[in-house]
Structure 1
Amino acid sequence: MDPKINGAFNFRDLKSPAVLMPRLRPRLLYRSDHLGALDEDDASHFRALGIRRVLDFRGIFERAEAVCPVPTVTVHSLAIEPTVVQVLGALVAAGEKLTREDAVAHMQDTYRGFVRQNTHRFAEFFAHLMHSDTPTVFHCTAGKDRTGFAAALILHALGATHDDVMRDYLLTNQRLKPMSMKGWSLPAHVVEVLYGVRPEFLQAAYQAIDEDYGSLEGYFSDGLHLGAAERRRLLELYLL
Structure 2
Amino acid sequence: MDTIAVPFVVPLEGGSNFRDLGGYRTADGRTVRRGAVFRSAHLGALTDADRASLGKLGVRTIVDLRGVEEAAETPHRIDGIECRVVGAHIEPGIGDRIRRAIADGSASPSLMMQYLTDHYRDYPRRCTPGFRTLFATLSDGRCRPLVFHCTAGKDRTGFASALLLSLLGVPWDTVVEDYLRTNALWIGHLGRYPELDIDTRAAIIEARRPYLEAAFEVVRADFSSPEAFAEKALGLDSAARQRLKAELLED
Does the pair score TM above 0.5? yes
Equivalent positions of 1:178-197 (< 5 A) are 179-182=189-192, 186-197=196-207
Match of 2:237, as an amino acid?
A: G
> Is contact 2:25-2:31 (8 Å) kept?
no
- The secondary structure found in structure 1 opposite 2:31 is coil
Q: For 1:23 and 1:152, how far apart are their aligned partners in 2?
A: 15
In structure 2, the residue matched to 1:108 is 117
In the alignment, structure 1 residue 127 sits paired with structure 2 residue 132: no
- The size of the alignment, in residue pairs, is 237
In structure 2, the residue matched to 1:13 is 20
Q: For 2:110 and 2:193, how far apart are their aligned partners in 1?
A: 22
- Following TM superposition, by how much is the alpha carbon of 1:122 offset from its aligned partner in structure 2, in angstroms? 1.1
- Given the alignment, which residue of 185, 193, 208 partners 1:175? 185
How large is the RMSD of aligned CA atoms in angstroms? 1.8
Q: For 1:112 and 1:182, how far apart are their aligned partners in 2?
A: 24
> Is contact 1:170-1:197 (8 Å) kept?
yes
Q: For 1:11 and 1:190, how far apart are their aligned partners in 2?
A: 26
CA distance 1:184–1:87, change in 2 (3 Å): farther
What residue ranges of structure 1 are gaps of 5+ in the alignment? none
- The secondary structure found in structure 1 opposite 2:72 is helix
In the alignment, structure 1 residue 30 sits paired with structure 2 residue 35: no
- Following TM superposition, by how much is the alpha carbon of 1:187 offset from its aligned partner in structure 2, in angstroms? 4.8
TM-score by length of 1: 0.92
In the alignment, structure 1 residue 221 sits paired with structure 2 residue 231: yes
Q: For 1:166 and 1:235, how far apart are their aligned partners in 2?
A: 20
Q: For 1:222 and 1:31, how far apart are their aligned partners in 2?
A: 24
**1:139-159: per-residue Cα shift (whole Å, max 9, x none)?**
000000000001001111111
- Following TM superposition, by how much is the alpha carbon of 1:114 offset from its aligned partner in structure 2, in angstroms? 0.8
- The secondary structure found in structure 2 opposite 1:5 is coil
Deviates further, 30-39 or 85-94: 85-94
- Given the alignment, which residue of 208, 211, 219 partners 2:218? 208
CA distance 1:183–1:189, change in 2 (3 Å): closer
In structure 1, the residue matched to 2:159 is 149
Match of 1:3, as an amino acid?
A: V
Q: For 2:189 and 2:72, how far apart are their aligned partners in 1?
A: 24
Identity among equivalent positions (%) equals 34
**1:115-159: per-residue Cα shift (whole Å, max 9, x none)?**
111112111111101111520110000000000001001111111
Q: For 2:182 and 2:73, how far apart are their aligned partners in 1?
A: 23
TM-score by length of 2: 0.88
In structure 2, the residue matched to 1:63 is 71
- The secondary structure found in structure 2 opposite 1:217 is helix
Q: For 1:169 and 1:48, how far apart are their aligned partners in 2?
A: 25
> Is contact 2:14-2:50 (8 Å) kept?
yes
In the alignment, structure 1 residue 232 sits paired with structure 2 residue 237: no
Q: For 2:223 and 2:176, how far apart are their aligned partners in 1?
A: 21
